[in-house]
Amino acid sequence: MNKQTLADLQSQNQWKAFWQNQKDFIAISSLGQITSLPKTFALMAGSFNPLHEGHQELAQIVEGLINQPVIFELSIANVDKPWLDEATVLKRISQFIGYKSIVVTKAATFIEKTHLFGGCNYILGYDTALRLLSSRYYDSEEAMIDCLNSIVKQGGRFLVAARMQDNQVKTLADLIIPKDLQSFFLEIPVERFRVDISSTILRSQGKNL
């Protein structure tokens, strides 16, 4: 079933246009069909290699907290890794058929995502939030602050989930956030959720895509 659905998806003009750099993103419904995005939503970006129950549980909790649908986002571009090819993207998408919508982009950074989608709620694990606030991913500390200000001025917010790191639970309180931006970082209550599942460990167990 998924194989035919993915073949049908590949044959669509919009899918081809994305891979020919004529479209910036493409949204795919839980039925595996090209769709449009809702007016308001929360965005959970990731590599989903693989999609695991931690992702699914976090999405469910966030939907209950903010009363918005969660859309997953897979960027074929990555700040730290090689770009994904079409075959890999199709494998990753196959995990979402029968589950939820996913949008495929070329937006490696949150400012690029904001240029595509405007202000939305970004769902982050502690480790991703730490990178977002690390000046080494920008030209300077000032450039980092300017970038974050640009995101929040368009309505962006960051919902941060706790994560086990170095055998300690790391939460929003452990992040160093510029004072003027602190109100735009919201904690997903640790008693509701924390990320203990490692995609790296799952891949080492042969569950990669």
Q: Quick one: pLDDT at residue 124?
A: 96
pLDDT, mean of residues 7-19:
98
Residue 86, amino acid? E
Asked whether residue 17 carries a pLDDT value surpassing 60, the answer given is: yes
The 10s digit of each residue's pLDDT in 164-176 is: 888 999 999 999 9
CA 197 to CA 176: how far, in whole Å? 24
Asked whether residue 202 carries a pLDDT value surpassing 70, the answer given is: no
CATH architecture of 2-203: 3-Layer(aba) Sandwich (3.40)
Distance of CA 105 to the CA centre of its chain: 10
Residue spans per domain, the chain: 2-203
Start-to-end CA span in the chain (Å): 18
Confidence of residue 80 (pLDDT cuts 50, 70, 90): confident
DSSP per-residue letters across 113-178: HHHHH-S-EEEEEHHHHHHHT-GGGSSSHHHHHHHHHHHHHTT-EEEEEEEEETTEEE-GGGS---
The 10s digit of each residue's pLDDT in 110-147 is: 999 999 999 999 999 999 999 999 999 999 999 999 99
